[in-house]
């Protein structure tokens, strides 16, 4: 009744009809706070919002409560037998089936743990803290300081964001995950003609923090496909998702406050765990990434359990903005893009120097680590992609070409071509492991709205390699790849994390093959000696993988390297090698691996990581000779020639500016070494050496300088 009175009063003021009451759960003390999110101006500007609020949300909440009541009654009717809950340290806690929850177990351990545990894992499956346990189990609890805790925290924050967006603008929500980079979350929604920008952020954040203040619990129900379609019948985007779900898929729906959302979960216990919330940016997106589908708007957000961490993150973003690779690339004349070739970048001479250095760095390691370089075609008949499975699962991301009434596709990856290379002749076990490396140009048809500098492009190159080996060789090959990655990332100054992603719910191949592969990966990781974590059920359908995320100088995480086992492609292409005489023909295991990942993306990451100050070995501007006067120019040119002949990038400033100005300009241009020469240096055959960002200088002979350059290059400094 209180809701109806508030709505009636608001409607009288606006000379509109009085809507029916909105249902809210009994734990909310001030249900009217939801209605307050629809400002009078919003109702005046968007008359459909009122109808949306009263009919759609009311219907969803009613259906949710009805199904929830039935399910609770069912669980209460089940026998609540005693169960044993085993914790990671081996200790055992007692509980009751269909009654005790991970939160109850946490409370039994300590109040602090219960206040900080965000999510649990029950027998390897992520589980809501308040969801009843269904039997004896192993239990792990995760706080915000774990990947599982952070991802869940940000996924739940996306629901809080979605609630604010829906209540504020009456939009149709689409999807709202945590970001793949592991920094925050976003929500895509359809707004019609409304365009969101930073001016809207204050009201969105206000709505989100109201949800936080209300301590809305995240509640879960399981529904049939028919029930899900009824709940979301007003939202064509959710209906499409539901209709595309497999017949045997368990469908879950979550609720927090007025938001009822289709979601597999799990979520944090309630909204009050989110103490700090901010909108970061708004951008356009296409439904399901398809440029021919509906145009959506994406709002990105970030949240934390305390204000201090949010302030630190915002400060990090401000710092990162100063060193955006697109701005630095323009300033240093490294690369540019053009509207006539979106997503494909032009590398200028200085940018090409860096690009080539990265490629040369990897190629040198190939030589030392037993890889064989190959070159494969850029374009294949679609029959190849049908065999590999990409035609069915990846075709919309490919550039297609009709040639003589046949369909061809530009390659988005090298692996199918490498399968053809393996298969072009009879192979023997003596040839394995066969490590094929390919810097071929790849093309992926990314949506124009998703293109982002060098980090999301359409044309790129990878340090792509595929290792064909016997099952008995998997462990050693994986360890070798890990050592390769460690070597490269140490040179770049990255720290990194390792995760073993194991067999997913839906997988291809034999169970024993998966178990053997996971065992080999585990042994390889243990022998490698670095700390690693397990990521249950997150492997690819065709094989387990090791995920490697790097952290740069600004503590941002990136996924660059790849290490995946693949049983599927060798089977699809019927690859075989002759084993020892008594064993006949056997199927190889295929290992996909990359260290840099996309060369373009790695170049962008390094540019920001070094803040534009390239180390000498990678720098496109290693040295510049600055003559003090016109009299010194002939010697300056001679010095330049000697350094250039030794294989280093060196310029000479022959302008008539004063030497102080030349030195300052060279420092701003990020030359690593500034070599000042005057009449004295010309007489003695020396140079006055200034190092970037240092005020002092020293005098060196040319041979000594070149030796110094050589040492820095060999040490990757």
Q: 245 by DSSP, 3-state: which? A: coil
Question: Under a CB-based contact definition with an 8 Å cutoff, are residues 225 and 260 in contact?
Answer: no
Q: What is the CA 99 to chain-centroid distance, rounded? A: 37
To the query of whether residue 318 is one of the catalytic residues in this protein, the response is no
Catalytic residue among 267, 545, 601, 662: 545
Record the tokens describing residue 187, joined without a space: 């929500």
Question: Under a CB-based contact definition with an 8 Å cutoff, are residues 575 and 588 in contact?
Answer: yes
Record the tokens describing residue 217, joined without a space: 């619990």
To the query of whether residue 220 is one of the catalytic residues in this protein, the response is no
Q: What is the secondary structure of 6-19 as a DSSP string?
A: HHHHHHHHTT-PPP
Q: How many Å from the N-terminal Cα to the C-terminal Cα in the chain?
A: 72
Catalytic residue among 415, 469, 560, 626: 415
Question: Under a CB-based contact definition with an 8 Å cutoff, are residues 255 and 271 in contact?
Answer: no
Phi, psi of 252 (to 5 degrees): -120, 145
Question: Under a CB-based contact definition with an 8 Å cutoff, are residues 154 and 303 in contact?
Answer: yes
Alpha carbons 545 and 535: distance in angstroms, whole number: 10
Catalytic residue among 159, 238, 427, 592: 592
Burial class (CB in 10 A: 0-12, 13-18, 19+), 304: buried
To the query of whether residue 464 is one of the catalytic residues in this protein, the response is yes
Phi, psi of 360 (to 5 degrees): -60, -40
To the query of whether residue 425 is one of the catalytic residues in this protein, the response is no
Phi, psi of 656 (to 5 degrees): -95, 20
Alpha carbons 115 and 11: distance in angstroms, whole number: 41
Helix %, strand %, coil % for the chain, to 5? 45, 25, 30
Q: What is the secondary structure of 499-518 as a DSSP string?
A: EEE---SS--S-HHHHHHHH
Catalytic residue among 216, 297, 332, 462: 462
Catalytic residue among 155, 298, 466, 690: 466
Catalytic residue among 104, 261, 438, 464: 464
DSSP structure class, residue 217 = B
Alpha carbons 558 and 577: distance in angstroms, whole number: 37
To the query of whether residue 466 is one of the catalytic residues in this protein, the response is yes
Q: DSSP alpha helices (H): ranges in 582-658?
A: 599-609, 633-645
Question: Under a CB-based contact definition with an 8 Å cutoff, are residues 306 and 198 in contact?
Answer: no
Question: Under a CB-based contact definition with an 8 Å cutoff, are residues 10 and 36 in contact?
Answer: no
Catalytic residue among 172, 418, 444, 479: 444
Report the 10 Å Cβ neighbour count for 616: 21
Alpha carbons 711 and 496: distance in angstroms, whole number: 27
Active site (catalytic) residues: 415, 444, 462, 464, 466, 545, 592
């Amino acid at each position: 009744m209180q809701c109806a009175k508030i709505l009636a009063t608001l409607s009288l003021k606006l000379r509109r009809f009085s809507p029916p009451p909105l249902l809210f759960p009994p734990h909310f003390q001030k249900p009217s706070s939801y209605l307050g999110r629809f400002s009078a101006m919003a109702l005046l500007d968007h008359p459909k919002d009122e109808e949306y609020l009263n009919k759609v949300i009311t219907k969803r909440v009613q259906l949710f409560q009805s199904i929830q009541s039935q399910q609770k009654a069912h669980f209460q009717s089940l026998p609540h037998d005693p169960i044993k809950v085993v914790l990671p340290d081996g200790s055992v806690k007692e509980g009751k089936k269909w009654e005790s929850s991970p939160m109850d177990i946490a409370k039994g351990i300590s109040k602090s743990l219960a206040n900080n545990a965000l999510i649990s894992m029950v027998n390897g499956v992520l589980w809501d803290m308040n969801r009843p346990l269904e039997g004896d189990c192993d239990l792990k609890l995760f706080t915000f300081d774990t990947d599982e805790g952070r991802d869940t925290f940000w996924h739940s924050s996306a629901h809080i964001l979605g609630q604010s967006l829906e209540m504020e603008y009456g939009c149709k929500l689409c999807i709202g995950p945590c970001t793949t980079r592991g920094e925050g979350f976003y929500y895509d929604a359809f707004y019609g003609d409304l365009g969101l920008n930073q001016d809207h952020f204050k009201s969105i954040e206000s709505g989100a923090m109201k949800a936080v203040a209300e301590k809305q619990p995240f509640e879960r129900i399981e529904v049939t496909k028919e029930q899900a379609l009824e709940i979301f019948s007003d939202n064509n985007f959710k209906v499409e998702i539901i209709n595309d779900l497999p017949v045997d898929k368990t469908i879950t729906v979550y609720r927090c406050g007025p938001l009822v959302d289709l979601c597999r979960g799990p979520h944090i216990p309630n909204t009050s765990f989110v103490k700090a919330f901010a909108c970061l940016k708004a951008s356009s997106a296409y439904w399901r990434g398809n440029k021919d589908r509906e145009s959506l708007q994406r709002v990105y957000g970030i949240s934390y359990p305390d204000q201090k961490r949010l302030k630190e993150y915002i400060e990090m973003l401000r710092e990162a903005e100063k060193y955006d690779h697109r701005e630095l690339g323009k300033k240093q004349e490294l690369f540019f893009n053009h509207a006539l070739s979106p997503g494909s970048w032009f590398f200028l001479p200085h940018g090409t120097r860096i690009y080539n250095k990265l490629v040369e760095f990897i190629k040198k390691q190939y030589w030392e680590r037993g890889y064989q370089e190959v070159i494969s075609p850029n374009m294949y008949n679609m029959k190849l992609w049908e065999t590999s499975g990409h035609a069915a699962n990846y075709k919309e991301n490919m550039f297609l070409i009709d040639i003589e009434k046949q369909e061809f596709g530009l390659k988005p990856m090298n692996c199918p071509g490498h399968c053809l290379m393996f298969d072009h002749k009879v192979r023997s076990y003596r040839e394995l492991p066969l490590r094929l490396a390919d810097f071929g140009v790849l093309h992926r048809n990314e949506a124009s709205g998703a293109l982002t500098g060098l980090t999301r492009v359409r044309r790129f190159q990878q340090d792509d390699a595929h290792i064909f080996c016997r099952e008995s060789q998997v462990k050693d090959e994986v360890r070798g790849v890990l050592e390769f990655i460690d070597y490269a990332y140490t040179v770049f100054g990255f720290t990194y994390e390792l995760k073993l992603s194991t067999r997913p719910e839906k997988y291809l191949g034999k169970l024993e093959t998966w178990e053997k592969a996971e065992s080999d990966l585990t042994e390889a990781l243990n022998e490698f000696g670095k700390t690693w974590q397990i990521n249950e059920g997150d492997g690819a359908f065709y094989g387990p993988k090791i995920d490697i995320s790097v952290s740069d100088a600004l503590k941002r995480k990136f996924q660059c390297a790849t290490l995946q086992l693949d049983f599927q492609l060798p089977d699809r292409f019927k690859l075989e090698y002759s084993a020892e005489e008594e064993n006949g023909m056997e199927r190889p295991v295929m290992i996909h691996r990359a260290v840099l990942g996309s060369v373009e993306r790695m170049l962008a990451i390094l540019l920001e990581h070094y803040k534009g100050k390239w180390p000498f070995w990678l720098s496109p501007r290693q040295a510049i000779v600055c003559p003090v006067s016109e009299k010194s120019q002939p010697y300056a040119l001679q010095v330049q020639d000697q350094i250039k002949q030794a294989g280093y990038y060196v310029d000479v400033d022959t302008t008539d500016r004063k030497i102080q100005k030349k030195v300052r300009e060279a420092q701003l241009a990020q030359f690593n070494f500034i070599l000042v020469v005057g009449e004295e240096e010309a007489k003695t055959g020396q140079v006055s050496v200034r190092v970037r960002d240092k005020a002092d200088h020293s005098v060196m002979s040319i041979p000594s300088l070149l030796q110094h350059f050589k040492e820095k290059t060999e040490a990757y400094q």
